[in-house]
Amino acid sequence: MQENKILFISNIFPPHVRGGYELGCLELAEKYGELGFKVVVATSENTPDLQRYPDPKHIDVRRIFTPVKYYDDKHNFHFQGNPIYFYEKLMAFAGYIEHNCIALRRLIEIEQPNLVWIFNPLGIGPIGILDTVLSCNVKVLIHLMENIDGVIEENSRIINLTSKWKQLKSQVTAISCSKKIFASSQYLGRYNSNTIIYNWVKLYESYNYLENIVSTDPKKTIKSLKHKGKQDKFRLVYFGQIAEKKGVGILYNLAKYIAKSPYKDKITIDLFGRGEKDFVNWLEKQITQDQNLTDIFVLNGFISKDNLLEKIGHYDMAVFPLSDDEPFGYAPIEAMLTGVPVMITSKTGASEILKDRHDVIYIKDRNNTRQFYQKLIWCLENPDILDLIRSNAITTIKLNCDLEHITLPAINQVIDSITPSKGYPFEYVLASCEHLKYPYFELDVKNYLSGARYKFIDKAVDISYRLPIINKFLRHFVKHLLQYRRNKL
């Protein structure tokens, strides 16, 4: 009897972490391992800057892909004028990377998984990854927590493989983490099927205290969490990436506004997490130079998740001025489950399951500092309403994001519905890689690929392929050549 085996694919994987996508892959890999499945994760090696999480040594991780170096801003800046690096980056985000395709195909042949579960394929050649997986006779599932179509479209301005992406995704089953992501996933064609399953939390594994306040029946009303009584200060907390795109710059502007208000001695904002070095250094400099901010706006750095969850419960409110294109947002959900009321922008993925002044406080316009400030003052002056919001939020999360009772049954239903790919010769994938290896188009920058050797070869091959008789001969010749190459690998 064949062993139940799942191969997860993620561009990066702990200890390398950029955000919730990698951690989501880790949690599901762990969960299915606990359920008795043999779990293997295919991913890349990466830079020490992204080593932000404990190494999951209990999981079989194969770092078979080329390092995803394109998330390093300094690296990109240094090589931005290099045409070879530029072309490789385009292929990494909207094309094929040949050695990744070969490595993945070999791994699938060796491990023989029942299901290949793709998380984030960006940076490792997403079209090549999908093409390689579909060439095998396996179930294929892609888990969408980012606007992948948007990234592929953005990187397809010079060499456009979007029609290939559309053709491949039409054969794949997808799960979207929110309605927002579901909508964006239809920009370049449609998946064979696409189900919205909201991101999850391990309710009783990470939040043990909930057993005392949440009924085992999710339909029953839970007890109200009482606020901590009258305190000298209204303490706000933010945790996650310390980055402009996450709204930390907006929190800095809010702190400056508070410093000039009558409530300057009554409100504090604590921030926990790591982030972009240049941005963090700039923030630290601004705080040092403005003595009015030192007691209001405090950068605390990174602490472990267990310690973080313990600390968060002592704050009066968590604030997350996230951008409108945030796919979901793990941090607000985690804050709610510590019993802290949350203020969040109203168009994030997580906002789809929340209701203003029922289980959350919405920020309508995060760039309107005065409006943001007025919302905070309203919360400060209405602690009894915040108590109700706390309890309602936990009920809402339990009804929509409970990994054990909501998420897993929904995911398993999707997996059971998947028909395995019929598969096709891997030579077709290699042919695409070969065709894309030597670009014949002109780049918009001075480049080293415009020499006589490349121009002659590319133009000669291109002209030859346009002649019907020679086209037929060349296709036959290339097919046998690729089979010979394949046998020699």
> Of 338, 366, 401, which marks where a domain is finished?
401
195 and 221 share a domain?
no
Residue range 182-208, pLDDT digits in tens? 999 999 999 999 999 999 988 755 454
57 and 182 share a domain?
yes
462 and 425 share a domain?
no
372 and 230 share a domain?
yes
> Of 401, 425, 440, which marks where a domain is finished?
401
190 and 248 share a domain?
no
Question: Does the residue 407 lie in any domain?
Answer: no
Residue range 97-137, pLDDT digits in tens? 999 999 999 999 999 999 999 999 999 999 999 999 999 99
Residue range 340-352, pLDDT digits in tens? 999 999 989 889 9
179 and 208 share a domain?
no
152 and 227 share a domain?
no
392 and 417 share a domain?
no
258 and 379 share a domain?
yes
Question: Does the residue 185 lie in any domain?
Answer: yes
Question: Does the residue 322 lie in any domain?
Answer: yes
Query: At 473, is the pLDDT very low, low, confident or very high (cuts 50, 70, 90)?
Result: confident
Which residue range is the domain that position 312 belongs to? 203-401
So what's the pLDDT on residue 461?
Answer: 60
240 φψ region: left (φ > 0), alpha (ψ -120 to 50), beta (else) = left
Q: Give the chain's domain count.
A: 3
226 and 180 share a domain?
no
Residue range 29-68, pLDDT digits in tens? 999 999 999 999 999 987 666 666 788 889 999 999 999 9
Q: For a pLDDT cut of 70, what percent of the chain falls above it?
A: 83
183 and 327 share a domain?
no
Query: At 447, is the pLDDT very low, low, confident or very high (cuts 50, 70, 90)?
Result: very low
Which pair of structure tokens corresponds to residue 315?
Answer: 């704050």
Residue range 419-443, pLDDT digits in tens? 999 999 999 999 999 888 765 444 4
Question: Does the residue 144 lie in any domain?
Answer: yes
**CATH number of the domain encompassing residue 18:** 3.40.50.2000
440 and 461 share a domain?
no
Residue range 239-252, pLDDT digits in tens? 988 988 899 999 99
Question: Does the residue 300 lie in any domain?
Answer: yes
**Which of the pair, 189 or 484, is modelled with greater confidence?**
189
Least confident segment among 250-254, 265-269, 330-334, 471-475? 471-475
Residue type, 325: D
Residues 6 or more apart whose Cβ sits within 8 Å of residue 191: 142, 169, 170, 172, 173, 174, 185
Residue range 198-237, pLDDT digits in tens? 999 887 554 544 544 444 444 444 343 444 444 679 999 9
So what's the pLDDT on residue 204?
Answer: 59
> Of 366, 401, 436, which marks where a domain is finished?
401
Q: What is the mean pLDDT of the chain?
A: 85
CA atoms within 13 A on the CB side of 3: 13
Question: Does the residue 67 lie in any domain?
Answer: yes
